[in-house]
Amino acid sequence: MEQNEQTTTRCHILAREMTRILVVDDDRDILFFVKLILENEGINVLCAENGSQALELLEENAFAAMITDQNMPLMDGFELARRARRLRPDIVVFMGTGHIYPGIQAKAQSVGIRQIFGKPFNFPHLFAALNEILPGGNLDSTG
């Protein structure tokens, strides 16, 4: 029984490493930090500094999820989410924002955003959301 559990755990770890997450933010420090935290959990992360870069990556790569900033120049997170879901209907989209306001959740849902996170990120909450979609779902959401 123990060997089966180890094999299952290894399979989940390998599946997670092959699962890509796209992180989009115009703040390079946030990109670096989020990438570092997610890669520390064994997740394969690609980053984009704007919506155009993100769409190029989405055209060329499959992603399990995208975490995007709301407020970016040229294309905001809502428009990016709408276009991303058109290109990749199965992608799960999360959005981070420092500007939560009445109606934001409804607007987010209307373009296919699954969940909004306040900034700075609460990583246990983000990990809990990612655990729902990643193989094995055992990111450390306790902090």
Token pair, residue 48, equals 């984009």
Which residues in 100-115 are b (16+ Cβ under 10 Å) and which e? eeeebeeebeebbbbb
- Per residue in 90-142, pLDDT tens? 999 999 999 889 999 999 999 999 999 999 999 999 999 999 988 766 666 55
| Structural domains of the chain, with CATH | 18-131 (3.40.50.2300)
Which residues in 37-131 belong to E strands, given as ranges? Answer: 44-48, 65-69, 92-97, 113-118
Mean per-residue pLDDT, 5-31? 72
Output the pTM of the full model: 0.84
Q: Is residue 93 within 8 Å of residue 114, measured between CB atoms?
A: yes
